[in-house]
Structures are given as structure tokens and as C-alpha cells.
Chains A and B, each alone.
Chain A
Amino acid sequence: MAALLRTLSLRYLRKHALRTVLVVASIALGVATLVATRVLNQSMVQAARGAATPLADMTGLLVTNGEAGVDRALIDELRRARLPGVRTVRPLIIDRAVLPALNNKSAMLVGVELDSLNHNDNPWGIEVQLVARPLAIPRGYPVFVGSRLAAAMPDGIAEFQVRVAGKIYPLSGYGTVDAHDTKAILGGSVLFMSLDDAARLSRLTDRVTRIDLTLEPEANREQVQRQAQEIVGNRAEVRSPEVNDQSMHKVMAGLELGFQLGGLCALVVGLLLVYNALSVSVAERRHDIGILRSLGATRGQVAGLFMGEAGLLGLAGSLLGVPLGLGLAHLALGPFQQILSDVFVPLQARRVEVTADTLVLAVVAGAATAMLAGLVPATRAAGEEPADAVRRVPRLHGTLARLLPVLSSALLVGAGLACFALRRQLPERIGTYGAILLVFLGALVITASLAAVVARLLLPLVRLLLGVEERLAADNLIRSPGRTGLVIASLAAFVALMMQTAGVTQSSEDAVLTWVDHSIAADLFVTANSPVTASGQSLAMQESVGRQLETLLEVEKAVPVRFKQVEFRDDRVFLIALDAGAFYSADLLPAPVPGLELLPRLSKSGAVLVSENFALLHGVGAGESITLRGPGGPVQLHVLGTVQDYSWNRGTVVIDREHYLEHFRDDLVDVFDLYIRPPEAQIRIKLSAALGAASGAPFPVNLPWGLLCQSPQVQDPNAVRETILRRWGVEESLVVMTRPELRESIRGMIQRLYGIGYAQEAVVGMVAAIGVVTSLLISVLQRRRELGLLRALGASRGQVLRSVLAEAVLMGLIGAVSGLLIGIPMEYYAVRVILLEEAGFSFGVRVPWQVAGGVIGLATLIATLAGLLPAWHAVRLRIADAIAYE
């Protein structure tokens, strides 16, 4: 078989080099997208694991109490217990710090018992390098600095400052730390210091972030876990790092799966094109197949030949696609990490994670896709009757062959609907995502079959309005549905996916921005170090900052808000602590979102509101109780009702700040919502102060203020921002956003998040364009005689060019309109089913008509541009050659 493949297939592929290159390129693009998607996902999962449970690589078990921290007394209790199988008990404090000297660069502050760094077998494989220090007595807290961070420090590490929990502290570098391989991140932006010092900086005097238990190799983990849990009781939970990572995984799982499906779509479109190319190849080589059969080739040999050819194409595509995918992943890592850090949790992925199974999967996926695509053409080739094929007797298509696309489509759509109906019984996400994928494939299959029908319907219009060139193009589409149908389906796939993404983006954007407008009335938002995000990229501030801000005459109120990602039933939910009374009384919203009016009732101790998506995802409603982990153990909270809130995809709990301080002992602030005092009121206060001070009498309230006030009616928020930044900006590292900026920032975040999808769809578009080129090149070959005859009858080169390009334009238009018809229901499903099930968000569906127009134009343009090369081939045909018989 190898000799036959070498003699027949390689020669054929070489003869049709351009077509071969295009088919290989389409597989390579599909494989590259799959590889890039998988590699990025793995890198992000790794990074998310690092974010959820930093430094947990060598840890057997964790003693954790969520964000509240673990009682320090447990360290001694666990050590005293000398649990069999436990080698070490290591407390850890982990916090975020920023370095003013490095333009407020963020670093991970790690508090450890310093003797653990001295051991050669320290759990993180860290190499400590002591540095020569000046003889002067150090003024700061002793610290070991990640080697790469140390190298970036402009004035060295001997003396420098960090900001932790809103305060500046001096540090003195005693050495650098380095680590390699998967732990290389520890040689980066990390500051190691003693546990006690870290506790002071993080203000965790009686708590640590967690306690790690390192186990002996032969230890029974479950048994140790049980025994340790008995000791800690309900003050904390003993769990494995894997279980700890699950909550983070849940947050990103939907996005991860959606992203993987996007990658798969590129490969599926690649499959359609390989199928197309091989089908045409079988049709073209039918006579050759007849010759082979007459020379004694068995059906198996013929099928094997075509399958081998498909496998070769697939393998070549895979081998090109893998490095291309890795390159794409390298390029995309930074932006991808930034998007996820903005939306979910700050991530630090320094490199792409490439595993052997990814590489094997990519090569197998590429080859298998091509062979799957080759299955039907190969079977068709093997089914040829030698006498018919050698005599060029037209092939008759049976009823089954004609009905096959309709039956396959019905089967796929039916399977998709079954997935949807049974999604509660199927494993999580399988039914929901399987349904849309199968129905999408079914729609593409039927699109391929219906393309010729649509072209036939368009024919009278083309005849009426356009010239003979266009009519010939339309005729050609009708005559070769097998060649053009799948390419049209590929274009439809591109348009449908673009429409879906654009629709989901617009629906999310509209809903979230409307929610912002109707739930937040503040004029300015003050954070430290970084703008407002739900992912916690900004640094916490002291309450005193708010009091400072309120000393400004322009500031009526600075409402402190604390955000925290906390654990609830193995999920990561969002906790918002705010001064409910101040937030609502200061609220100037004419039409608040549903549930916001309940805010004043949060003054009752233990009362909380939950977001609508929290209620839906966790099945908790008004009147029920939820339990969150507090520093003193579980905190039971009473749900007053639900409020519309789109802050977090796993749900939000809103609590009054006073009760938050009581239960969670945390007085830090993430954002101050600033309400600007109107100019009129500012003058009133100024005059009041001046007159009141002069006469000591109460100030009359019924003065004609309108006449007295010549100042503008509205205070410019930018002016207030300038004042704040001038007075405290550098000292407190403040960032101030106006309302329009906040809206823009949210809009930008949504667009960047869904932008990942656009990147994948661009690849689908490229593969579809390759399909158009391939299809039209084949068309030019098939129409060689016809085009030659046209030229012989006096058609100009321009007319031939027009005819080929007209076919491309028609393909683009039919594909685009079909894509639109598929994309809109897909958008509806994505918004009303997937978003609802994944995040509990019930958004209205907005069809992005403007985008639709653009995408239709883009698809048509892609098809037209892709048609240029084949058109050029067509005009270069030598008339005599083209009309020669053999």
C-alpha cells in the first residue's frame, strides 16, 4: 500500500500542488486553533490553580477557612497532635503587595516560618541566595525577594517600600529566591518574609491564610484528613489542594468549554473542506479509479488509497498546525491572561503549558479529522463499478444518496434536541453544549444541500437583473452542489459564529450597562492601584481614606464598599459589603433595579440580599439561610430577598458593612463610591460656615439661592478627580474613575472577554476563505472547456473573470444569509439557555443588526477576494488547450 500511495497519491497531490497546499492549510489552521485553545486553557487552569491555592504544589492537605483565614492556635494544636503520616505543619500568610518604586507593580507577599526556606527539601524547591548588606542597622522588615523582581528594582533591594492593605511599610532585602520549571513563578514577583512580619503587614494577628500539611510518601491521605478535621473541628476545613481548586474551576469552566468548542468549530470547518476536496478528487479521478479497477485493484485497495491520501493530508496539516498553534498560544497568552484577570481573578501565567497529550491529541485530531472526512469519498470511490468508471458512464445517485444529507441533518438536529431535553440527566454541560453543537452541525449539513436550491431560486432574479456572466455563475452553482455546498456551509459557519458572539456581546453589554445605570448612582469611584474590577486587582484601602475624601467640600459622601470572593458550597461567590443605608439614601436613581429598595433593611444583623443569579444557581431564596466562613467559624446569614446584580457569574451576596465588620473582622475597603455635592449646596455650606462663624446665629434656609448662586448647576466630576489625585493620589496610590469611564471600562471588559471568540472565528473565516479558493480552483478546472468555448466565441478575459468572481460573490452571499439564519437562533440559545445556566443571568436578546450587515459584507468580501486567484487562473487559460478533447 505504501508503494501505491507513493506512486499514485503523492504524484496526484504534487500535480495539484496548490489545492493540496490549501487543504493542508485548512487542516493546519483547524489543528492550530485546537492546539492554541487547549494550551491556553491548560495554562490558565494552571494559573487559576496558582491563584486559588498558591504554593500548593508539594502540599498533601490544606487547612483552610476560606478568605477569613485560619485561627493561628491551630498550628500548635496540629503540631502537638503529631498525626501519623504528617511530615510538616507549615502555616502560610499570603497577601498582595505593590511596590511604589516599580510603578506600583504587584507582588505576592508570602509569610512563612523562615527556617522552612533553609532546608534543602523546602516544599517549593526554592534556592535562597543571601546578599551582602551594608553594615548599617536595617530599618525595614527583613525580606527575601524573587530574583527577577530583585533584578528589576531600580535601587536594589537593600531598602525599599511596599504597600500592603492600604499602608506603606519599609522592607530590607536579605537575599533573593529562585525556583525552576513549573515553580519558576516563585523567582518572579514574590516577597518571602517571616510569618510574624507578614501577619503585621496583613493585619492578621491571630490568623494565617492557611496551614499546609506535608505528608509522608506512604501516608493515607484520607485517614490523615479525617484525623486533622477532628482536631480543627468547625474552625476550618481540611481538604486536598485539588478540592480547593474546584471552586475556581467552576468560575471559569463555562468559558473554558465555550472556548474549546470554538476551537473545535475551526477543525469541523476544516473537516468540511477536506471532505469537499476529497469528494472532488474522487469525482475527478473516477476514470483513473476505473483503470485501477480494470488492472485488478480491489475495492479495499481503492478505499485504502483515498483514506491513505486523507491521512497524509491530515498528518501534514497536523504537523504544521502544532507549531502554528503553539506560536498562536504564545502570542495570545498575555492578552488572554489580562482578560481573565480583569474579569475573574488575577492570574500569573508566565508560559504556555505544553503537555505531551496535547501534542499527541493534536496530531491524532488532525489525521483523524481528515480520515473521517475521507471516509465517504473513499467509500464512494471503492463503490465504483469498473466498467462504468472506465467508460465514463454517468454515475447515478440513488434515492438514499440524495436523501443522505437530509437524513444526516435530521439525525444531528434530533440528537441535539435530545441532548437539550435530557440535559438534566446528562453530565453537567454535556447536554447544554452538545445540543447547540449538534444542531449547528445539522444546520451546516442542510445548508450545504440547500445551497443549490437557493441558487436555483435566485436564478430568475440573476437572469432578469444581471448579465450572462452572472447567469453562467449561478448555473454553475446549481450544477455542482457537491463542490460548492460545503464551502457555502463553511462561510455560513463563520457568519453564524460571528453573529452569535456579536449578539451575546451586545445582549450582555446592554443588560449590564442598564444595570449599572439603574443600580449605581455614585459620581466617582476611588480605588487603589488599579481600576474597579470584580477580580480584585485593586488593592484594599484603609477606612481613613474615605474620611479624608469627605473633607473635600465637593464630596457629599464617600461610601465604602468591600468586595470579596468567598466560598459557598464549594463554589466561589462574590460578597459585597457596603454601607447599605448610605448607599441607598444617597441613591439618586429614578428607577432602581429590582431588589435595590431592600438595601435599607440590611441594617438588621445577619441579614443579606442575594443576587438573582445566586438564587437561581444555588437554589436559595428569600427567607432561607446561607452559611459563609468567618474568622471565628461559620457565619449564618438570613436572606432577605433577591436583587438584580451582574457583578459575578457565580452569584453575589450583599451585606451591610457594619455587620460585615462584626462577622468578618475586616475593615478594609476596595472602592469608595463618591457622591458629589451640587455647587449650590457647596456655596450654602461655605456661606453658612462664614456667616455662622460671624454671627453665631442659625442660618436662614429660605434665602433666594438661585440669585445668590452664579456657579454652574452641576459640579464637574473631572475637577473633583483632579483635586483628589492632587492631594492623595500619590500617597495613597489612588485611581479615580468617573461614571462614564466605569461604563466604558465594563463595556471594554465584556468586549475583550468575547473578543476571544472573535479570534477563533477569524480562523474559521480564514478556513472558509481557503475553501472558496479551493472550490473555485476546482470550478475553473471543471469549467475549462466551457470557459475555453466562451473565449472561442469571443468572450473577453474580463468577462471570464467576471463569471468566476460572480460565482464567488454568489457563494459568499448565500453563505452569509444562511449564516445569519443559523446565527440568530444560536445567539438566542446562548443568551437564554447557556448564559442562564452558566451564570444565572437572564438577559434580553438583542440582535446585532449593524454587525449582521457588516458580517454579511465581510463574508462576501472574503469570498470575492478568495475568488481572485482562481479567476486569474481562468483568464490565463489557453483557448486551444481548453477546448481540446483529451
Chain B
Amino acid sequence: MELQEVTKVYQQGRRSVAAVRGVSLRIAAGEFVAIMGPSGSGKSTLLHLLGGLDTPTTGAALFRGRDLRTLSDRERSLLRRSSIGFVFQFFNLLPTLTAVENVALPLLLAGQRRRTALERATAALEGVDLGDRAEHFPEELSGGEMQRVAIARALVTEPEAVLCDEPTGNLDSASSQEILTLLRSLPAAGQRSVVMVTHDAQAAAYGDRLIYLRDGLIQAEEILRGQHGRAAANA
């Protein structure tokens, strides 16, 4: 994934707000990148640009070398469906669906038969140790469980990138640690990348690299490889 001189300007009433201002960034396959910054620094916008949820006002957002701006909305949707997984702060599970159905959703969107989709979703849930909670509705799950369901959903299509927006922002410390350990296990060398936006320095320490964002610009960048182990041990 790559951003080249990307800017993103929003219209708020009559006012234009530049959330991201000329950011260039490259995320390698198999890399776990943490993005930190204060509220309003443009972290989530950056994540949305990387995942094709949004398109840059100027500059280019590349995924596997393809400029997302040149793709149609449909092509971007198919890309998200097949190659990118999202994990959000408030889990964003559909309240009317059970855990397994939430996980199966991307597969159903891809046109898979319901039975097949549910089988694969069950396997993904078992992968995050929630096989026994498959038929529960979100309101019957704890915050940590909901987030693990969200991670299972992000992984069910075996994407090349998982993008996490404050995945521990709404969790207690024990659940946070479980989730971070789970996320840390996701990147595989040369294969799946993970990008995580967070406020939490301890969470950021799980990354291979930390990018510090302020006022829509990259203010600092730090290589953290190895630190997550110590952080996990300290926690």
C-alpha cells in the first residue's frame, strides 16, 4: 500500500478542512504499522484513503501498484471485499445479525452460498477463540468478544491488508492486550500487512513501525521492531 503526496480536503458547510496534507507513505507486505496522533490529526482519514473507503483530493493512493483513484466505485468495492479487512473502534457489527452471520457478511456480499459462507465464518470465529459464541448477537457479547468477531470478519476473506481504526479504544486493558496480541499475529512475512490507528502508545508499541501524525502531516516516523514483545511482557 502506498500514498503519494496525498491530500484530502473536506467541505464543512462553507469551510474547507484539509484533513491530510501531502502525505507520502509506503507499507510493505507483512508489515505492522501503527499510526498515532491527537484527535483531528487525520489518522482515520489516512486509514480510509489506504483502504479505498475514500479517495484523495490530490495525490495517489496505491494498492498493489494500482491507483485507487483510477478505479471505479465498484472496483474499489470489490478490492475491499477481497483484499482488505477493516476493524473499527466501535466494532461496527450489525446488531441484527449473530456473530457468525456478521463474520460471513463479506462472503455473502461476494455471492457465496449461505451455507458455505457460514462454515467459513465459523472457522474464522474459531480462529479467534469464539467458536462457542457463534450464534450470539452482538449485544450478548463483551467488548473484547465483539472486537474479536470484528477481527474474524476482517480475516474471513483472507485479505492482504487489515486496517484497524482504534481497535482497543473502547476496551478494557485485558481485552486490549488480547486484541493486540491477536493483531500482532496477523502479519506474515511478505504477505499480510496490518495498519493500526491508535491513541495509545502501548498499543502502538506492538507495531513494527510507528508513524506520528499531526495536523494532517507526518511529523515523525520510528522503527519499533521487537518492542511489542517487551510491551506485552510489561502489560
Contact = CB atoms under 8 A, between A and B. Distances in A.
Interface of A: 3-4, 6-8, 11-12, 14-15, 287-288, 290-301, 385-387, 390-391, 396, 886
B113 interface: yes
Contacts of A7: 97, 101, 104-105, 108, 114
A296 B97 contact: no
B54 A385 contact: yes
Contacts of A290: 92
A295 B96 contact: no
B96 A15 contact: yes
B73 A299 contact: yes
Contacts of B45: 387
B32 interface: no
Nearest to A298: B77
Given A3-B114, A3-B117, A295 B73 contact: no
A236 to B, nearest CB: 71
B153 interface: yes
B44 interface: yes
Best-buried of A6, A288, A387 by chain B (most CB within 10 Å): A387
B90 interface: yes
Contact of B109 (A14, A295, A387, A396): A295
Interface of A is mostly: helix
B81 interface: yes
A301 B96 CA distance: 19
Contacts of B106: 295-296
Interface of B: 11, 44-45, 48, 51, 53-54, 73-74, 77-82, 84, 86, 88, 90, 92, 94-97, 101, 104-106, 108-110, 112-114, 117, 153, 157
Contact of A390 (B88, B96, B105, B112): B88
A284 to B, nearest CB: 11
Interface of B is mostly: helix
Given A3-B114, A296-B84, A886-B90, 17 more contacts: A4-B109, A7-B104, A7-B114, A8-B97, A15-B96, A291-B94, A292-B105, A294-B80, A295-B109, A296-B77, A296-B82, A297-B77, A298-B78, A299-B77, A300-B74, A387-B48, A390-B53
The 9 A-B residue pairs with the shortest CB-CB distance, nearest first, are A296-B81, A387-B54, A11-B96, A296-B80, A298-B77, A3-B114, A387-B53, A387-B48, A291-B92
A390 B166 CA distance: 14
A8 B106 CA distance: 12
Given A3-B117, A296-B78, A296-B80, A8 B94 contact: yes
A301 B44 contact: no
Contacts of B101: 7, 11
B80 to A, nearest CB: 4
A287 B114 CA distance: 23
B83 to A, nearest CB: 9
B167 to A, nearest CB: 14
A386 B53 contact: yes
13 contacts: A3-B117, A292-B105, A293-B53, A293-B77, A296-B79, A296-B110, A300-B74, A301-B77, A386-B54, A387-B48, A387-B54, A390-B53, A886-B90
Nearest to B44: A391
Nearest to B150: A291
Nearest to B75: A298
Nearest to A1: B111
Contacts of A287: 92
A308 to B, nearest CB: 13
B73 A12 contact: no
Nearest to A5: B108
A490 to B, nearest CB: 28
B31 to A, nearest CB: 22
Contacts of A15: 95-96
A298 B73 contact: yes
A390 B92 contact: yes
Contacts of B104: 7
B228 to A, nearest CB: 26
Nearest to B51: A294
Contacts of B92: 287, 290-291, 294, 390
A746 to B, nearest CB: 60
A252 B207 CA distance: 82
Contacts of A390: 53, 88, 92
A287 B94 CA distance: 9
A295 B45 CA distance: 17
Contacts of A300: 74
B105 A295 contact: yes
A885 to B, nearest CB: 10
A4 B88 CA distance: 22
B45 to A, nearest CB: 8
B117 A8 contact: no
Most buried by B among A4, A6, A7, A396: A7
A294 B78 contact: no
A886 B170 CA distance: 11
Contacts of B95: 15
Contacts of A386: 53-54
A296 to B, nearest CB: 2
B81 A295 contact: yes
Contacts of B110: 296
Contacts of B81: 295-297
A440 B130 CA distance: 58
A287 B90 CA distance: 11
Contacts of A4: 108-109
A6 B81 CA distance: 20
Contacts of A391: 44
A579 B120 CA distance: 95
B210 to A, nearest CB: 23
A11 B11 CA distance: 36
A746 B74 CA distance: 68
Nearest to A305: B109
B74 A299 contact: yes
Nearest to B117: A3
Contacts of B94: 8, 288, 291
Nearest to B112: A3
Contacts of A3: 108, 112-114, 117
Contacts of B108: 3-4, 7
Contacts of A396: 11
B13 to A, nearest CB: 9
A290 to B, nearest CB: 8
B153 to A, nearest CB: 7
Nearest to A391: B44
Nearest to B98: A11
Nearest to B82: A296
Nearest to A396: B11
A503 to B, nearest CB: 48
